[in-house]
Amino acid sequence: MTTIIFWIFVLFTVVSAFKVVHSHNLIYAALSLLLTLFGVTALYVFLWADFLAGVQIVVYIGGILILLLFGIMLTHKITSIQITQLNMQRGVAGASALGILIILLWMIFRTPWFTMTSSEPLGTVREIGILLMSDYLLPFEVASVLLLAALIGAAMLSRKTE
Amino acid sequence: MDVLQNYLVVAAILFVLGIYGVMTRRNGIAVLMGIELILNAANLNFVAFARFGGMNLSGHIFALFVIIMAAAEAAVALAIIINLYNHFRTINVDEAGKLRR
Amino acid sequence: MNIFLQYTLLIYLLPLGAFVIQILVGKRLPRQGDWLSISAILTTLALSIALMAGMILDYNPDFREEFSVTWMDLGDFKISMGFLIDNITIIMLFVVALISSMSQIFSLKYMEGDPRYSRYYAYLSLFTFSMNGIVLANNLVLLYMSWELVGLSSYLLIGFWFEKDSAANAGKKAFLTNRVGDIGFFIGIMLLFTAIGSFDYAQIFSGVADGYISGSVLTLAGIGLFMGAVGKSAQVPLHIWLPDAMEGPTPVSALIHAATMVAAGVFMLVRIFPLLTPDALILIAYVGGITAFFAATIAITRTDIKQVLAYSTVSQLGYMVLAVGTGAYVAAFFHLLIHAMFKANLFYCAGSVIHSMHHALDRAKDHDTDAQDMRNMGGIKIRMPITYRAMLISTLAISGVPLFSGFISKDAILAGTLALVERSPQHSLLVVFGFGAALLTAFYMFRMMYLTFHNEPKRPELTPDIKESPTEMLIPLVILGTLSFYIFYTLPNWNPLSESGWFTYLVPARDSVVPGHINLSAHEIEEGVHHSHFTAMILSLLVAGTGILLAWRMYLRQTLSAEMWARKLRPLYNLSLHKFYVDEVYEKVLYRPFLKLADLVAYLDWDLYDKYIVNGVGRLTERLSKFSGDTDYNGLDQGIIDGIGRNARRSGIVLRKIQTGRIQNYILFAALGLLILIILQVV
Amino acid sequence: MDNLQSIQYFWPELIIVFTLIITIFVDFLYSDSASYRTGYWSLAGLVISSLVLSIQGIDVVTTLFRDMLAYDPFALFFKVIIAISTIFIILVSLSTNEYKNTRVGEHFILILVMVLGMMLMVSSIDLIMVYLAIETVSISSFILAGYLKSERRSSESSLKYVIYGAFSSGLMLFGLSILFGLTGTTKIFEIREVLINIGGDAQFAIILAGVFILAGFGYKISAVPFHFWTPDVYEGAPTPITAYLSVAPKAAGFALIIRFFHTVFTDTGALTSTSWLSQTALPWPEIMAILAVITMTLGNLVAIQQDNVKRMLAYSSIAHAGYMLMAIPMLSGEGIQAIMLYMLMYLMMNLGAFFVVIVVKNKTGGETFEDFKGFGWKMPVVGVIMSIFMFSLIGLPPTAGFIGKFYLFAAVIKAGPGFYWLAVIGVINSVISLYYYMRVVRMMFLEGSKQEQTTLPGTLLTVLLICLAVPTLLLGIYWAPVSDWVRNSLMFFTQGL
Amino acid sequence: MLTHILSWLIWLPVVGMVIIVFIPRERVDIVRIVAAVATGLQLWLAIILWTQFDPEVGGFQFMERLKWIPSFNIAYTLGVDGLSLPMVLLTPLLSFLAIFVSWNIKQAEKGYFALFLLLDAGMLGVFVALDFFLFYVFWEVMLLPMYFLIGMWGGPQRIYAAIKFFLFTLFGSVLMLIAILALYFTCGQTFDMITLMDTAPVALDGVLWWGMSAIKVIWILLFIGFAIKVPIFPFHTWLPLAHVEAPTAVSVILAGVLLKMGVYGLLRVNYGMLPEAVWWFVGAIAVLGLINVIWGALCALAQKDLKKLVAYSSINHMGYALLGMAAVVAAGEMNGNNFAAAQAGLSGAVFQMFNHGTISAMLFILVGVIYDRAHHREIGGFGGLAKQMPIFAGITAVAFFAGLGLPGLSGFISEFMCFVGAFPVFKTIVIISTLGILINAAYFLRAYQRVFFGELNEKYTDLPEINSRELFAVVPLAIITIFLGIFPAPFLNMIRTTMTEIIDQVVTLGGTIGLF
């Protein structure tokens, strides 16, 4: 049962991702990105990463995606949304992309990945919390500084000068 | 469902699509979407590896930071795009081609 | 310090000192310093006469003094400079000193009022200095150096009136033609040095004797040295410069281009005779013979008095070389000595004639007639008696009339030739050359005499103004004219028909040092000469007589019309008139192509190699940079994927080679680069 | 080492952070016109932190924050380089005209963030830290590149920069994830441990990971084929930032490359290691050498064509990256010394060149070769100084540049005849570079003619230029102390502690 | 003072330069005087050095050693031997005279003289440096001033000429740098030339790189570097351009000193450190020498521009030096240990270097004189000048005849020695190249006649005679030329010992592998 659901999600993710890069309409692209992110979230769940799934929902869908949508709205009058947003170098791009994909697949299936069996934990939140406050304290702080910088920068850029 | 490779394949596809998107989109925001795809692919990898690597949480942490970075990046990128738009009414990155003499 | 060394050093250095002072301050000295160099040269004359006297008193054929100092020493490579004084040297020194002083005295009037008067005397002194270098040298280096210096002074003196392009050209021609010979000379020297490791005559001879060098190499070396002589002594095919050299002042022609410098070649051959192999000798003989004959044929048709003398000089030099070739090199030197006297005299006479002609023409305000052209002269015998007599004597001498000096030496040479032919008949052509030349000489010399002095004046209006030259110019004429009598060369022997005397005693023939006795010994040669002496004498008397007779009938009695004969022998006449077209041929086959070659090379170097290859590299780099720039800037996608279209749409400018600014391109390339890297690493 | 204990070795960075916060608040108090004063604050902070840096003991070698950072002389060296260049940049941004009528407060704040990021970059030994550091640097540099909002070039360049940066960091991230998947850890030493005895099947994955990561790093040092952003951003960004980008992040990037590759992909994991990790089965030396060759050749060749000096310098900086890459394949101590030394020399001459561009722009308002015409006659001092920088960039004695190149080539030659071809290409490249560098000199002196009255740039600029030119000359004549310093900074820690 | 005389020689001009930099630019007169004084003092020192130099003892004298960069074994090592001393004399002499030649430089005199002094220092450094690194530094330092001197004060094409010169020489020198480093690492990590002379032949013996002997590889790299300076045939085209475009004084230095660095380097490095290779390449050297002689002469013969003619004559003259250098193998045993020839050739080459230095300097100064007056150099454009300016004509005659190797002038002796030395081994080559003497004479005489002989070109009836300043610059050179032409011994004794050492080096270490 879960397997089927899993495959459904996989399919769902991939297809919507495909839409993201293919839809002629930015809004649709954004929406299909939303779906993709959902799909990924689901996969996180399958991977026992409940906390990350949450973060994904909150930050990505709640934050980034909304940002993108805002961006679209701000930079296009509603009427002009329909204009095609594709450029022409698909041929080469597609080819190289395909090439990379093949290479990747080859790699994936012939590499002895580092594996270790383990039972599903009750939840990762606590551990992650502890890790963040102990082992990964520095990255945590740095990230905060970075966010601060991004904040200032973004503010600076979008501030009206005149 | 609990086979590592499945997830990796999905990630790979997302990754490639992301690259493709970045390469083919003219609209800055669309390009950003492509990048988001790439980042997600990477994250998926991390989490998958974490899961099959004996629930090694550093993978999760990595993914977590990646998400944060993504957010920051998106914010900045959008700020830039909007600024460009406000000043010059275009966000088509290939029209940002006036660096010519 | 040894007296000979003292004398020779003085003889060597006095003219140099004169030259230096003259060139530096000559103009500011009273009389522009001519007295300076004249006194210098007279001193040397006195000294060399003293040496002469010493030699006569000593009367020792084997007299020989040698002095040398190391000039450079690099350990194994040493060069020493020094003097070799033997009878030949002393005689030659005397000749040089005598003629030089004659010239300088003669020039007092001849060059009077020339803007570069002091320069002229400086050059003369320089010449004497370098000529003495040749004479005194005991090694090939000093010889070669003086050799070139002589060339320099002749260059300067020929081109003395450099305003005239002809003069400047003549000077250059002389120098370059000599250089051609000198190259051979130089190669010869190097061959000898490489084999023997020394430049000194003595050591070279002993080295040859010890067989360090032999066979064809030795022959080559000999021929190489001989080439030097060919250049200096104006032998065929390098004779072309001497006639042109007559552009120089006449005293110079007398000194350099008749008596001394041109004789240097012969002198050198005499010095190195012992190492010449038979093959080399025979070549030399032929060159000499040919020169003697053909120069004579050319002389027949000259109308310029100095040209006649010039070609006769060439022809006489040919005689000397021929003599060396036949092995009778003493005879050659003998002739050198005698020829120096009468030929110089002839030139002075010509000089004095020309001088007076000039005056006459100047009086007549006539500046376009050539003062040297015999066709404007004639009938001035009574006007210039002394000149006439002096010239007549010398002419008799050169034509080989008994009682006059020329007869004995020429006779010796012809005898030598005959002897050679008797030994090896296949070379009988040489005899023809020898006697033919003798005949022609007699003919054209008398032709000159008649045209110049006898008959009716061609330009009667000039005759009153033609008068005998001033004393300064007559002194040399008298002295040298006197010296054209045989007696001075054959004392104590009074017989006018035999050359034996102090000279033949003091300058004995030496054996060749070439190993293996392939050369005849001096004695054998002596034998041959004696044997054929009588026939030679008879024949030479005959031919001389015929020559004179012909000239007499053609130009004095005019019973035989020269024009008629000229018409009869038109082709020959033309050949002679145009000097066998040698100059023209050289012009066509040598100079022109050579200059063309030079232009070609320069073109190759500058307009092809540099412009295209060297700068091509640069341009290639730029091309590369353009290319990489393009690929880097707008790269493939612009080309492959509708770049033009989009560019046109975007900026209305068709594909400009500059940044498109399209990030996608970059990313595409990054991806491609990625792929490439991956593939690079996998395979 | 534990987080708390680590603090004592972390002061410089901490000071930066404090300054950051202070400047943010201070910046509120200033009006737009006065906001440049923020610069002084940040300057003060930087000076203090670099003082602290200078007194920090180089004998200590340890890891900080639970193996997040390495604390070692190597890192210290690069931190110093970063600090120095930043100080110069802040000073010059106070004296350029480009920031007239823009509020510059944030400018300095962001520079501080960047400094922090780079300092982390040069010392991070955990993949997460690596990623974070790179992102920190990138994001702040995106904004700085686009700082002149009203200038189209600037904004465009920042757009390119951000997209390109995000993309390549994405690639790198993917690579890192593969590495993580192979080894199950993010600590580079542990990674090496695993890699050393990993099966041959993993090779391909390692290759991919390596390449992807190379993309991320290569983009920081703008090595071909990840250099495409460089010319545009360099030309578009405000000149002080261009100068900064051409030096500091490059240095950080090199530090990172050296540390990362030497730790992860070599046999002993120390800078003293002499051969690449055999498991990777990669012809690493050849790859790196080829990268170097392509990078320098392309940089030089394209630079010839530029008409804009700034852009020319952009390509030249690519070329110089290529020169420095030459020393990577050797994996020898000399190689790394050479890179570090070169970095130092490069810092002075390149900053100097850009500063002169600023001077020219202040005077003529342009930055093309045309604008340099006769400049040597207008401002002789600047002209001479610029010539010095150009000669140094060409690598002619007696300038610092020559010494740098000398050490690089020495390192290559030392590696034996196998790499002579690399050296030959290198020198030929420097001959090519002569062409376009001399073009500047030519424009300044040979074109144009004598002027009657000559001027000087502003005092501050003059001082800065002299401060850069004098060492450029002196180090060309006597550089023993520097090279010793470099050699001492080359101790590197293995995971022994 | 005497202990550091070499350092003084190098740094005096630098001091002068510094002083000049601080003189206000209006005070041109002072600038000139300072320059003259600096070079004059330098010349004086050089003469002292010469008097103190002991030609009998071999090896280097007046050595100075100073640690510089110990970590890289770089030291500040100076010293002179018989090979470098002539150049050390020539350089200050020509610099000193050149200052007077450039007396009437217009525009930016200050810069000109400052750069000139720097150039002077660089050149001198090259000749006395005994540390390879130092050598290289000086070698390159000299390029920069040269670039500016040509590029700023040169003729119409000056910029092109300058960059061409720069590119050419830099190309050569970077290859040299590689060779130097290779030597450093293969021969015991030292830059000390003296040590390398001993170690290099041993250390490199039998080392193979890509199947090619390491010695050959390094030799070739160095050879290209030096050949460009000499310049040897395929690398010569920078020279006519640079010579023609450069201002007179700079041409003087170019021809007089710079070209010598090539030969000097070849003898000092290629012969001194890699003698084995000499045996392999000597044939090539001889052939190149031949080409230089003939090619240069022919090109000169075709020139319309007097200065270009002189420039090509330089190529031609350096050819003789090359021939002389090739002669060194004569001392090998397969050539019958003909030490005499080897000495003649090698000393001839060095002597030729020196003579060409003085002679071509004279020629360029004289061309400059006429150019300053007539403002053109077309050989065909003059005529009859001997009437108008006799003194000038006289001195030019001396220079020209010296150029065409007239006995009694120094040029002859050196050419003679080169030929005589090379002849035993390279008979045909030498025989062909004797043609050079002829062409040599041809182009000089042709030029002389067209410029000075014939009717005076009425355009120039008021051309002023050569003035005392110019005379002062030329006459010393003329005197030297004549003196050495008559008494070469003083010079040759000075270099004798060193030449013998070089020959021994080549012969003993060079092994017996020969070409012939």
Which run of H or E residues covers position C349?
helix C329-363
Contacts of A96 in chain C (CB under 8 A): 668, 671-672, 675
- Lowest average pLDDT, out of C328-337, D28-37, E170-179, goes to D28-37
Which run of H or E residues covers position E209?
strand E208-209
User: What's the confidence (pLDDT) of residue C662?
Assistant: 52
Beta carbons of E12 and E45 less than 8 angstroms apart: yes
Burial string for E359-370 (b: 16+ CB within 10 Å, else e) reads: bbbbbbbbbbbb
Which run of H or E residues covers position E79?
strand E74-80
Q: For E80, how many CA atoms within 13 A lie in the half-sphere containing its CB?
A: 27
| Cα–Cα nearest to A32, from A68, A84, A75 | A68
On whether any CB of chain D is under 8 Å from the CB of C585, the answer is: no
The reply to whether residue B87 touches residue D173, judged by beta carbons under 8 angstroms, is no
AA identity, residue C240: I
Contacts of B80 in chain D (CB under 8 A): 142-143, 146, 155, 158-159, 162
Span C624-632, average pLDDT: 70
Among D68, D99, D157, D159, the strongest candidate for a mutation testing the A interface, having the largest count of A CBs within 10 A, is: D68
What is the Cα–Cα distance from D448 to E430, expressed in whole angstroms? 51
- Please state whether at least 3 CB pairs lie below 8 Å between chains A and E: no
Provide Rg for chain E, Cα atoms.
Answer: 22
Q: C520 is written with which tokens? A: 């005849």
Distance separating the N- and C-terminal Cα atoms of chain E: 50
- Taken in order C166, C168, C173, C174, the sign of the CA dihedral is positive
Q: How far is CA E343 from CA C534, E351, E418, E419, in A?
A: 57, 12, 9, 12
Q: How far is CA C518 from CA C218, C281, C422, C508, C600, in A?
A: 13, 12, 18, 20, 48
Span E328-336, average pLDDT: 79
What is the Cα–Cα distance from E295 to E289, expressed in whole angstroms? 10
Residue pLDDT, tens place only, E460-479: 888 888 888 888 989 999 99
Residue pLDDT, tens place only, A6-19: 899 999 999 999 88
User: What's the confidence (pLDDT) of residue E117?
Assistant: 92
Neighbours of C458 (CB within 10 A): 15
| Cα–Cα nearest to E188, from E203, E201, E173 | E203
Neighbours of E372 (CB within 10 A): 15
On whether any CB of chain B is under 8 Å from the CB of C674, the answer is: no
The reply to whether residue A100 touches residue C674, judged by beta carbons under 8 angstroms, is yes
Number of H helices, E strands in chain A: 7, 0
Tell me how close the Cα of B30 comes to any Cα of chain A, in angstroms. Answer: 7
| Cα–Cα nearest to C467, from C393, C391, C382 | C382
On whether any CB of chain C is under 8 Å from the CB of B84, the answer is: no
What is the Cα–Cα distance from C675 to C44, expressed in whole angstroms? 97
Reported in sequence order, the residue ranges of E264-320 that DSSP labels E, i.e. its strands, are none
* Residue D419 DSSP one-character state: G
Q: pLDDT category, D6, cuts 50, 70, 90?
A: confident
Q: C175 is written with which tokens? A: 């120098």
Beta carbons of D285 and D292 less than 8 angstroms apart: no
User: What's the confidence (pLDDT) of residue C41?
Assistant: 92
Partner residue opposite D128 with nearest CB, options B39, B61, B96: B61
Average pLDDT, chain C: 84
On whether any CB of chain D is under 8 Å from the CB of C661, the answer is: yes
What is the Cα–Cα distance from C2 to D303, expressed in whole angstroms? 81
Beta carbons of E244 and E311 less than 8 angstroms apart: yes
Contacts of B94 in chain C (CB under 8 A): 646, 650, 660-664
Tell me how close the Cα of D136 comes to any Cα of chain B, in angstroms. Answer: 9
User: What's the confidence (pLDDT) of residue C655?
Assistant: 28
Tell me how close the Cα of D16 comes to any Cα of chain C, in angstroms. Answer: 34
Partner residue opposite D228 with nearest CB, options C622, C670, C674: C670
Beta carbons of C23 and C52 less than 8 angstroms apart: no
Q: How far is CA B97 from CA C639, D236, D358, in A?
A: 17, 11, 24
Span A63-68, average pLDDT: 85
- Lowest average pLDDT, out of C31-40, C69-78, C582-591, C608-617, goes to C608-617
- Taken in order C618, C620, C626, C629, the sign of the CA dihedral is negative
Q: A130 is written with which tokens? A: 């502890």
The reply to whether residue D170 touches residue B38, judged by beta carbons under 8 angstroms, is yes
Beta carbons of C641 and A91 less than 8 angstroms apart: yes
- 3-class DSSP assignment, residue C58: helix
Q: How many CB pairs under 8 A join D and E?
A: 83
Asked whether the predicted pLDDT for residue C220 surpasses 50, the reply is yes
Beta-bridged to residue A14, according to DSSP, are: none
Contacts of B3 by beta carbon, 8 Å cutoff, 6+ apart: none
Span C34-49, average pLDDT: 91
* Residue A86 DSSP one-character state: B
Burial string for C66-89 (b: 16+ CB within 10 Å, else e) reads: bbbeebbebebbbbbbbbbbbbbb
What is the Cα–Cα distance from A158 to A143, expressed in whole angstroms? 22
Q: pLDDT category, A78, cuts 50, 70, 90?
A: very low
What is the Cα–Cα distance from E253 to E116, expressed in whole angstroms? 10
Look-up: residue for tokens 């190309």?
Answer: E171
The reply to whether residue B81 touches residue A36, judged by beta carbons under 8 angstroms, is no
Distance separating the N- and C-terminal Cα atoms of chain B: 56
- Lowest average pLDDT, out of D390-399, E11-20, E29-38, E99-108, goes to E99-108
Q: Is C75 left (phi over 0), alpha (psi -120 to 50) or beta?
A: left
Q: For D7, how many CA atoms within 13 A lie in the half-sphere containing its CB?
A: 6
On whether any CB of chain C is under 8 Å from the CB of B91, the answer is: no
Residue pLDDT, tens place only, D289-332: 888 898 898 888 888 888 889 889 988 999 999 999 988 887 77
User: What's the confidence (pLDDT) of residue B42?
Assistant: 93
Beta carbons of D368 and D260 less than 8 angstroms apart: no
Q: Which chains touch B (3 or more CB pairs under 8 A)?
A: A, C, D
Q: For D201, how many CA atoms within 13 A lie in the half-sphere containing its CB?
A: 10
On whether any CB of chain B is under 8 Å from the CB of D367, the answer is: no
What is the Cα–Cα distance from A14 to A38, expressed in whole angstroms? 11
Query: Phi then psi for A52, rounded to 5 degrees?
Result: -60, -45
Neighbours of A84 (CB within 10 A): 9
- 3-class DSSP assignment, residue B53: strand
| Cα–Cα nearest to E34, from E46, E50, E45, E22 | E22
Tell me how close the Cα of B45 comes to any Cα of chain A, in angstroms. Answer: 10
What is the Cα–Cα distance from C125 to C16, expressed in whole angstroms? 6
Tell me how close the Cα of A101 comes to any Cα of chain C, in angstroms. Answer: 11
Contacts of B64 in chain A (CB under 8 A): 51-52, 55, 128
Number of H helices, E strands in chain E: 22, 4
Beta carbons of C310 and C242 less than 8 angstroms apart: yes
Reported in sequence order, the residue ranges of C17-126 that DSSP labels E, i.e. its strands, are 64-73, 78-86
Contacts of A37 in chain B (CB under 8 A): 36, 40
Complex-level ipTM: 0.87
Residue pLDDT, tens place only, A3-59: 888 899 999 999 999 888 888 778 888 889 999 999 999 999 888 888 899 999 888
Q: pLDDT category, C321, cuts 50, 70, 90?
A: very high
- 3-class DSSP assignment, residue D63: strand
Average pLDDT, chain D: 86
Torsion (CA) C188, C191, C196, C202 in degrees, nearest 10: 0
| Cα–Cα nearest to D386, from D299, D472, D449, D479 | D472
Q: E339 is written with which tokens? A: 């030490």
Beta carbons of C129 and C19 less than 8 angstroms apart: yes
Beta carbons of A111 and D179 less than 8 angstroms apart: no
Q: pLDDT category, C642, cuts 50, 70, 90?
A: very low
What is the Cα–Cα distance from C533 to C556, expressed in whole angstroms? 33
